[in-house]
């Protein structure tokens, strides 16, 4: 036991001597203005040790090494000399991490329960000057599509508003870039498909009303990724109510209702959309398709014929019009006993459906699974031998 105690007593002075030597070396590097990167590494390595982490001087030297590197790099860029812009921005963010780390250390009460924040005011004053470059760094990495780094910069920029050391600056009250930074942070999280990051600043991001339509889209897709169906649908509805003509919310909402066989809700959504824009071809086409699915064939036919009259070139309009007539013939033909009058009506429906379906085939020849069987049935019933033989071979 005695030998262990002696070893420990010898060890502490050695640690202290080693720390002093490393600190002295870092000071020399910083004083000379050269090998600043080495000084930074020396201090960063010291902070990995729990004892050294409590040494205020280590933190301050680390920041000084970083700050001088930043200023040197900034000067080179100003003089249009070659320098790594990304490295400059990353250095700026490390400066925040260093002084925020020192502030966290000072917030720990001493043995008497006292908290002495002797560096806070100066640290905050210094970092406040560099804070705009956190936003700029986020934009820089965003343009590079480096979403991970971009998120970190925007996140750090936003977090300053809630850090005690920056309280006197009241960023949350006057900084108009905060909602924009939150939007871009949300966008980065969305692009990385990390729901936790996407949702971190969403409430602040919603204050960026100029981009709300896109934000709601990111939220909807994030909730879908998390399989949170309730929030997914709720966000689609909110997006549709606020931005009914957006190409995202209406189609996705109709698609969801279709998957759930909630056709009445889908129809209600179509009608709401048409109240906003009665001439919108997508809204009209969606309603025509929905009515076809619901078996309201004549209403569907009327809508699709109107779209065709407006010279709409969407192939599926012709398919819908043809099927609206074809399906009526099929419904009549289901009866076991069909009168001659009914038979004539059936053939009439087939004749009227034929030009629409042939037009669809011409416009979408690759969609054989949609037009082949209806045309086969029509050619068979209308005794169109040549056409029937041709499509019979296709099938």
* Inter-residue contact 157 to 181 (CB < 8 Å): yes
Coil, strand, or helix at residue 222?
Answer: helix
pLDDT at 2: 43
Tens digit of pLDDT for each residue in 16-29?
Answer: 557 889 999 999 99
pLDDT at 330: 94
Q: How many CB atoms lie within 10 A of CB 153?
A: 29
Structure letter (DSSP) for residue 49 = S
* Inter-residue contact 201 to 185 (CB < 8 Å): yes
* Inter-residue contact 180 to 208 (CB < 8 Å): yes
Q: Which residues contact 177 (CB under 8 A, 6 or more apart)?
A: 135, 157
pLDDT at 169 over 60: yes
pLDDT at 368: 94
Of 353, 348, 301, 304, nearest to 326 (Cα)? 353
pLDDT at 207 over 70: yes
What is the residue-averaged pLDDT of the chain? 92
Supply the pTM of this predicted model: 0.84
Tens digit of pLDDT for each residue in 339-381?
Answer: 888 889 999 999 999 999 999 999 999 999 999 999 999 999 9
- Sketch the domain layout of the chain as residue ranges: 209-278, 301-395
Please, what CATH class does the domain formed by 209-278 belong to?
Answer: mainly alpha
pLDDT at 8 over 50: no
**Percentage of residues in the chain having pLDDT higher than 70:** 95
Backbone φ and ψ of 388, nearest 5°: -65, -45
**Percentage of residues in the chain having pLDDT higher than 90:** 80
User: Per-residue DSSP letters for 96-113?
Assistant: HHHHHHHHHHHTS--TTS
Tens digit of pLDDT for each residue in 305-350?
Answer: 999 999 878 899 999 999 999 999 999 988 767 788 888 999 999 9
Tens digit of pLDDT for each residue in 93-117?
Answer: 999 999 999 999 999 888 788 888 8
């Amino acid at each position: 036991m005695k030998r262990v105690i002696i070893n420990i007593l010898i060890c502490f002075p050695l640690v202290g001597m080693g720390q002093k030597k490393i600190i002295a070396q870092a000071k020399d590097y910083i004083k000379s203005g050269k090998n600043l990167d080495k000084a930074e590494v020396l201090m960063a390595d010291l902070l990995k040790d729990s004892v050294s982490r409590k040494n205020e001087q280590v933190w301050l030297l680390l920041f000084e090494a970083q700050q001088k590197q930043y200023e040197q790099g900034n000067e080179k860029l100003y003089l249009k000399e070659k320098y790594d812009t990304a490295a400059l921005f990353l250095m700026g963010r490390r400066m925040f991490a260093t002084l925020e780390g020192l502030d966290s250390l000072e917030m720990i009460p001493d043995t008497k329960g006292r908290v002495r924040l002797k560096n806070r005011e100066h640290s905050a004053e210094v970092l406040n000057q560099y804070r705009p470059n956190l936003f700029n760094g986020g934009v820089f990495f965003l343009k590079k599509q480096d979403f991970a780094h971009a998120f970190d910069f925007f996140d750090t920029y936003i977090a300053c508003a809630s850090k005690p050391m920056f309280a006197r600056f009241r960023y949350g009250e006057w900084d108009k870039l905060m909602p924009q930074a939150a939007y871009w942070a949300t966008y980065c999280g969305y692009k990385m498909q990390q729901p936790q990051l996407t949702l971190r600043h969403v409430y602040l991001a919603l204050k960026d009303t100029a981009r709300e339509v896109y934000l709601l889209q990111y939220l909807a897709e994030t909730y879908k990724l998390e399989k949170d169906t309730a929030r997914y649908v709720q966000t689609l509805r909110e997006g549709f109510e606020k931005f009914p003509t957006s190409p995202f919310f209406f189609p996705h909402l109709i698609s969801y209702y279709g998957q759930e066989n909630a056709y009445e809700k889908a129809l209600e959504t179509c009608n709401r959309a048409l109240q906003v824009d009665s001439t919108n071809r997508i809204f009209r086409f969606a309603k025509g398709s929905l009515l076809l699915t619901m078996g309201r064939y004549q209403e569907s036919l009327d809508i699709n014929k109107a779209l065709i009259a407006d010279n709409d070139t969407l192939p599926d309009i012709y398919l819908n019009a043809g099927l609206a007539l074809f399906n009526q013939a099929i419904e009549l033909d289901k009866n076991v006993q069909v009168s001659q009058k009914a038979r004539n009506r059936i053939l009439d429906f087939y004749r009227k459906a034929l030009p629409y379906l042939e037009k669809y085939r011409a416009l979408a020849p690759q969609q054989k699974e949609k037009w082949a069987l209806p045309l086969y049935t029509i050619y068979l019933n209308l005794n169109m031998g040549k056409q029937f033989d041709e499509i019979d071979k296709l099938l």
